[in-house]
Amino acid sequence: MAVGVNAERRLDDPRWQVAERVGDAVLRRFPADVLAVAVHGPLAHGDDDGGGDREVGLLVVTYRPGAGPPAATRRVDGVLVDLTVAGADDYLRRATTITSRWPLTADRYVTTRALHDPTGWLRKLRDEHLARLARARPAEFSGAARQAWYRGSAAHARALRLAEWYETDQALLMLGEARLSAATVQGLFSRTYFRDPGDAVRRTGLAGADMTEVGAALTRQAEELAARGRPVDGTIDDLLSG
């Protein structure tokens, strides 16, 4: 049963209608496998106006890995449904691991709306994630930020080369990847998570940043990483020691 959702709004929003139909179908077909079903993303936040793309992010949590429906993405009655399926233990493990993608994944652990959660597992997910953040050492976030920085630096270098070759479309794609990676680095520095990639580049001021501006941001971030004891340059011994 969904919690904390405005019933009138749900009746008016085709995304909620599709989400509930998918959730009901999952529970009918896999009654012994499913621990929880939840919505994440804009619908979970409940502060969007229902405009724009009709998209639903659904999470199905199973008692055992490999059980339940397969993960899939389909459009149902004009609504794009992105179905994530994960075993409970595996998903809790993900929620308590600090990776270079943390700013883009944490929202799924913190903000959900239950369609089915009889044991309160989603609250456990949120609490364990927040507890892990409270225990995390600064070095963990700096190490993850360095990995994100490497992705951004490689994408930026590739974008520059493609621009030199007049491969404009590909250059723009790589520039977008560099922007997102730089935004992710900033999120790791400040322990800030984002709703989605668009939110990440918007809130960090990198939306629309050109090649020079992204390069300058990456340079500043490399300096910050060095100051935090995580320099981006090193020796072969550094590379082999991890």
The pair of three-digit structure tokens given for residue 164, joined into one six-digit string: 């030199």
pLDDT tens per residue across span 66-96: 999 999 999 999 999 999 999 999 999 999 9
48/131 same-domain check: yes
pLDDT at 4: 40
114/89 same-domain check: yes
108/156 same-domain check: no
C-alpha 65/C-alpha 35 separation (Å) is 12
C-alpha 238/C-alpha 165 separation (Å) is 34
Q: Which of 45, 36, 51, 53 is nearest to 5 (CA)?
A: 45
131/38 same-domain check: yes
80/155 same-domain check: no
Domain membership of residue 233 (yes or no) is no
121/160 same-domain check: no
- Could you tell me if residue 224 is left (phi over 0), alpha (psi between -120 and 50 degrees) or otherwise beta? alpha
- Could you tell me if residue 138 is left (phi over 0), alpha (psi between -120 and 50 degrees) or otherwise beta? alpha
Domain limits at 77? 7-135
- Rounded (5°) CA angle 232-238-240: 120
128/16 same-domain check: yes
pTM (two decimals) = 0.91
pLDDT at 13: 86
Q: How many domains does the chain have?
A: 2
113/186 same-domain check: no
Asked if residue 146 has pLDDT above 90, the reply is yes
Domain membership of residue 49 (yes or no) is yes
11/130 same-domain check: yes
pLDDT tens per residue across span 163-199: 999 999 999 999 999 999 999 999 999 999 999 999 9
- Pick the last residue of a domain from 135, 166, 197: 135
